[in-house]
């Protein structure tokens, strides 16, 4: 394949940086890796053609240092920047600076990033475009306005930051007495995490599914979907296990959610890869748009496994001005795929991150098993970033084949030196409600699966001592990341 760019800079780290570098290499494109002091020996720096230090270990001084990243791209002759997910991937100002510098931004244009980055303006826009959004307020609410708005919506309600994401600052309030505390807490965390304290309310649906649609759009106005994913296994509004296609909807419902996603993407002139996320109320069998993720998603491999489409490759081609292939309009999917996220964290101690050296690593293999990893044996997991180690993805001709294959793959995985969530994920995949597909977004909460110990978390005489010491260990973890991963 001839290259559309000769060199791109990957403005990220970990498994997603490795993922992007590998596709770029397949396309004949040279890559530049950026790294902080903590990532000097990271896998992505070893795989890239060039590497450049951008700052100290703290994210705000390195991976969030837009000036250093842009300077690195320009000085090393990169023609484009791929931001991956997280960090600066949805920063409209940075995207604008990249474009103004003469480089290509491998992602949605700044106008779309601005629209989707503000949850309230996004809700107003899509509601005005005829897309059903989750019932809730379209303006910020404070302690005075919240009670009346909640009564009108009906309890329970979700308090959400207007400028946030990743589950940070989101709380469910089940009564008027509970609401004040949750609004104050959400506002405080939103201010600390996003430098913006505004919050709003949405109706909370206890029996719901999280269904999202992968969208691609080119600069010539063409929009296509790559079918849907289900991401209903969640902890604190963060995804744990994802699968494609959804086992929870009928063919007619699939057509409806795909239609809504394409209509929403067309209404905002979406360009590049994005995910339109919907809440599916099981009682009414109705879809509501939750939000738009204007970047590549952690769970994109399940879509790739059932469609055969390399989403990163499409991102690069679109950013280079290429038109989407006509074959994407008539694409179908094959089989079923499931993804499990492997974190260096302790499920049996409130999911506290577990930085440290990976002293032993044996990865699963075999037919129809994919591992997207950012670590290697001997690698030291830094304390400064999200502790995602890798993603293990399985494909099968049907859902049960994919599920059982993923369980097998997880049981083959060996990681020593850091705590991890392997047995927790096996527990989830073997739970009867996951096996039969009836699980909802409340599965982990209702079944208390994070309290079921596996072999890595087997009760020992020092279990209580270790759990009491979890908070001490957490002091080493960046505050905003701790907030994102802790259960409240």
Residue 433 dihedral angles phi and psi, to the nearest 5°: -70, -25
Structure tokens at 266: 């067309």
- Report d(CA 395, CA 402) in Å as an integer: 5
- Report d(CA 388, CA 400) in Å as an integer: 26
146 three-state secondary structure:
helix
Radius of gyration of the chain (CA): 22
Give the relative orientation of helices 251-267 and 119-128 as an angle to the nearest 10 degrees.
Answer: 110
Torsion of Cα atoms, 263 then 266 then 271 then 274, to 10°: -20
SS3 of 406-469: HHHHHHHCEEECCCCCHHHHHHHHHCHHHHCCCCCCCHHHHHCHHHCCCHHHCCCCCHHHHHHC
Q: Tell which residue, 333, 424, 318, 287, has the closest CA to residue 106.
A: 318
Q: Identify whether the C-beta of residue 76 lies closer than 8 Å to the C-beta of residue 32.
A: yes
Q: How crowded is residue 455: how many other Cβ atoms within 10 Å of its Cβ?
A: 9
- Report d(CA 418, CA 375) in Å as an integer: 12
User: DSSP alpha helices (H): ranges in 166-212?
Assistant: 176-194
53 three-state secondary structure:
strand
- Report d(CA 306, CA 125) in Å as an integer: 32
Burial (CB < 10 A; 0-12, 13-18, 19+), residue 334, is exposed
Q: How crowded is residue 371: how many other Cβ atoms within 10 Å of its Cβ?
A: 16
DSSP state for residue 283 in the 8-state scheme: T
How many helices (H) and strands (E) the chain has is answered by: 18, 22
Is 254 marked active-site? no
| Residue from 51, 235, 295, 405 carrying the catalytic annotation | 295
Q: Identify whether the C-beta of residue 339 lies closer than 8 Å to the C-beta of residue 301.
A: yes
Residue 300 dihedral angles phi and psi, to the nearest 5°: -60, -25
DSSP 67-135: HHHHHHHHHTT-SEEE--SSTTTT-HHHHHHHHHTTPEESSS-HHHHHHHHSHHHHHHHHHHTT--B-S
Residues carrying an active site annotation: 295
């Amino acid at each position: 394949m001839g290259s559309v760019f000769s060199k791109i800079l990957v403005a990220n780290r970990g498994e997603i940086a490795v993922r992007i570098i590998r596709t770029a290499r397949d396309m004949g494109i040279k890559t530049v890796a950026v790294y902080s002091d903590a990532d000097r020996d990271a896998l992505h720096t070893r795989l890239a053609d060039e590497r450049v230090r951008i700052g100290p270990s703290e994210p705000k001084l390195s991976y969030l240092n837009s000036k250093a990243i842009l300077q690195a791209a320009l000085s090393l002759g990169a023609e484009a920047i791929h931001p991956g997910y997280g960090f600066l991937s949805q920063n409209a100002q940075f995207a604008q600076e990249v474009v103004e510098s003469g480089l290509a931004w491998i992602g949605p244009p700044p106008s779309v990033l601005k629209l989707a980055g503000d949850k309230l303006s996004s809700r107003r826009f899509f509601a005005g475009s005829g897309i059903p959004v989750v019932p809730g307020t379209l303006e910020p609410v404070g302690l005075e306005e919240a009670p009346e708005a909640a009564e009108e919506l009906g309890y329970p309600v979700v308090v959400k930051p207007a400028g946030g994401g990743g589950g940070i600052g989101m709380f469910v309030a089940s009564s008027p007495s509970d609401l004040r505390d949750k609004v104050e807490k959400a506002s405080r965390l939103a201010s600390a995490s996003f430098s913006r304290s505004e919050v709003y309310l949405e109706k909370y649906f206890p029996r719901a599914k999280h269904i999202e649609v992968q969208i691609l759009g080119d600069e010539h106005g063409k929009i296509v979907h790559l079918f849907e994913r289900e991401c209903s296994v969640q902890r604190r509004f963060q995804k744990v296990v994802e699968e494609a296609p959804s086992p929870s909807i009928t063919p007619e419902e699939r057509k409806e959610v795909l239609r809504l996603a394409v209509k929403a993407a067309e209404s905002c002139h979406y360009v590049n890869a994005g995910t339109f996320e919907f809440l599916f109320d099981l009682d009414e069998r109705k879809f509501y748009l939750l939000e738009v993720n204007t970047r590549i998603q952690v769970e994109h491999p399940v879509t790739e496994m059932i469609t055969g489409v390399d989403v990163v490759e499409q991102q690069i081609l679109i950013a280079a001005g290429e038109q989407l292939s006509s074959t994407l309009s008539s694409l179908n999917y094959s089989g079923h795929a499931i993804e499990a996220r492997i974190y260096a964290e302790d499920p049996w101690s409130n999911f506290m991150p577990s930085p440290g050296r990976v002293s032993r690593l044996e990865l699963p293999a075999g037919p129809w098993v994919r591992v997207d990893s950012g670590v290697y044996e001997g690698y030291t997991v830094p304390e400064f970033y999200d502790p995602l180690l890798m993603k293990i993805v399985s494909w099968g001709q049907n859902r049960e084949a994919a599920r059982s294959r993923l369980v097998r793959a997880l049981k083959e995985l060996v990681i020593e030196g850091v705590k991890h969530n392997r047995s927790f994920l096996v527990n989830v995949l073997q739970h009867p409600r996951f096996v039969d597909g009836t699980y909802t977004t409340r599965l982990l909460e209702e079944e208390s699966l994070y309290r079921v110990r596996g072999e890595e978390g087997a009760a020992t005489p020092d279990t209580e001592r270790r759990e009491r010491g979890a908070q001490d260990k957490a002091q080493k973890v960046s505050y905003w990341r701790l907030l994102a991963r802790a259960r409240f």
